[in-house]
Amino acid sequence: MAYDEFLAERVQRVYQEKRVPFFAKKMFGGVCFLVNDKMCAGVLKQDLMVRIDPEKNEQELQRPGARPMDFTGKSMKGFIVIDPAHIDMDEDLEYWIDLALEFNPKAKASKK
């Protein structure tokens, strides 16, 4: 299944409005947005995925529509998926992108 291109455009617009340099890369059957060569957010099918501080993982999973990212049967701490009904307002989308941007300087880059 293809990813939600409208949501991807909304994510790009948030980065552009914040003047954050990023690039998009197709991954996991969707699109990921990399900041400082590190995964920051993405669109997987209809959902938003964000990479946040693992210390905030449990707290943020309490928010409506948030669930752990799980590709292998084991959730990935620091990666949260948000269903589309809970990011239809721009301020809700921006909340999650801001969390991902806050953690990005501390995130480890993947090995090349």
Domain boundaries, the chain: 5-106
Per-block average pLDDT, block size 10, for the chain (112 residues)?
90 97 91 95 95 95 91 80 95 97 90 64
pLDDT at 41: 96
Query: CA–CA separation, 81 vs 94, rounded Å?
Result: 14
pLDDT at 47: 95
Q: What is the pLDDT of residue 71?
A: 67
Question: Could you tell me if 34 and 40 are in contact, meaning their C-beta atoms sit under 8 angstroms apart?
Answer: yes
Cα–Cα distance between 42 and 97 in angstroms, integer?
10
CATH topology of domain 5-106: Aspartate Aminotransferase, domain 1 (3.90.1150)
pLDDT at 1: 55
What residues pair up with 24 in beta bridges, in sequence order?
A: 33
Contact 22, 13 (CB under 8 A): no
Rounded CA Rg of the chain: 13
Provide the 10 A C-beta neighbour count for residue 45.
15
- What pLDDT was estimated at residue 35? 96
pLDDT of residue 7: 96
- Write down the pLDDT at residue 111: 67
Token duo for residue 39: 């995964």
